[in-house]
């Protein structure tokens, strides 16, 4: 097989994988954390063994979907942080971007973040014991590290900036996740009110920090 043929084969495999992930997305949007490999295979018009060939098991499919959605969310969060606005406005925009994302696709959020609701389909051995929690924790850590990097690049808080940025990055992500999870389940207030209240909680030290010289600012 020559280089061109290998490249064509890889392109075809990538396209097929993308099509299968889009089918999985449709099932997750419909079924949430109860989305099964059987249902996803049926949606894609293939047999379950073919789905296994691409992803291995539900854990492999979950990981691929998680990367897909986390990449999109991180891109949106970075866009909010890069918007030409005052720091307080960008903080609120970033919080709102996260909350709007989970509000717009709650079934996807629950599939990615709620292990207790994803117990597997009776009789489907590929899904027995599947632990979403084992996979969702790295997503939150990745978001925390990404936010920490942005904070370190843009804020000057004196000695220990790198460590403080990591504490803030993971702390803010943890706060967004916990508050968003509670809010999505109970809807005790409008999203705008939650954004404003969370920004108030964060604002003290963020307001005092200086921008890094020559950097894009925060």
Q: How many CA atoms lie within 13 A of 53 on its CB side?
A: 9
At 8 the pLDDT is 58
Task: Give the structural domain span for 177.
Answer: 3-211
Per-residue pLDDT of the chain (218 residues), as tens digits, is: 677 766 656 777 788 889 999 999 999 999 988 888 999 999 999 999 999 888 888 888 888 888 888 899 999 998 998 888 888 999 999 999 999 999 999 998 988 887 545 444 444 544 544 555 566 678 889 899 999 998 888 887 778 888 999 999 999 999 999 999 999 999 999 999 999 999 999 888 777 776 766 665 66
At 106 the pLDDT is 93
CATH code for position 45: 1.10.357.10
The Cα–Cα gap between 181 and 102 comes to 9
At 207 the pLDDT is 72
At 153 the pLDDT is 86
Does 218 reside within a domain?
no
At 123 the pLDDT is 44
At 116 the pLDDT is 47
Does 65 reside within a domain?
yes
- In this prediction the pTM is 0.80
At 214 the pLDDT is 61
At 155 the pLDDT is 81
- Map the chain to HEC letters: CCHHHHHHHHHHHHHHHHHHHHHHHHHHHHHHHHCCHHHHHHHHCCCHHHHHHHHCCHHHHHHHHHHHHHHHHHHHHHHHHHCCCCHHHHHHHHHHHHHHHHHHCHHHHHHHHCHHHCCCCCCCHHHCCCCHHHHHHHHHHHHHHHHHHHHHHHEECCCCHHHHHHHHHHHHHHHHHHHHHHHHHHCCCCHHHHHHHHHHHHHHHHHHCEECCCCCCC
Does 87 reside within a domain?
yes
At 154 the pLDDT is 82
At 191 the pLDDT is 98
Residues 6 or more apart whose CB falls under 8 angstroms from that of 21 comprise 64, 65, 68
Does 161 reside within a domain?
yes
At 134 the pLDDT is 61
Does 93 reside within a domain?
yes
The Cα–Cα gap between 167 and 174 comes to 10
Does 100 reside within a domain?
yes
Does 178 reside within a domain?
yes
Does 154 reside within a domain?
yes
Domain count, the chain: 1
């Amino acid at each position: 097989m020559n280089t061109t043929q290998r490249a064509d084969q890889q392109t075809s495999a990538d396209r097929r994988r993308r099509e299968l992930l889009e089918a999985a997305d449709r099932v997750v949007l419909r079924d949430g954390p109860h989305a099964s490999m059987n249902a996803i295979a049926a949606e894609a018009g293939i047999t379950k063994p073919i789905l296994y060939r691409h992803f291995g098991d539900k854990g492999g499919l979950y990981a691929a979907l998680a990367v897909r959605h986390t990449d999109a969310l991180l891109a949106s969060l970075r866009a909010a942080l890069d918007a030409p606005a005052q720091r307080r406005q960008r903080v609120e925009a970033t919080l709102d971007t996260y909350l709007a994302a989970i509000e717009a696709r709650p079934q996807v959020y629950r599939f990615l973040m709620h292990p207790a609701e994803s117990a597997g389909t009776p009789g489907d051995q590929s899904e027995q014991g599947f632990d979403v929690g084992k996979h969702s924790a790295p997503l939150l850590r990745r978001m925390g590290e990404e936010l920490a990097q942005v904070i370190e690049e843009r804020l000057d808080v004196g000695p220990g900036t790198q460590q403080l940025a990591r504490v803030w990055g993971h702390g803010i992500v943890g706060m967004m996740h916990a508050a968003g999870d509670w809010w999505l389940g109970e809807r005790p207030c409008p999203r705008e009110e939650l954004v404003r209240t969370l920004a108030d909680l964060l604002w003290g030290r963020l307001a005092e920090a200086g921008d890094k010289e020559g950097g894009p600012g925060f």
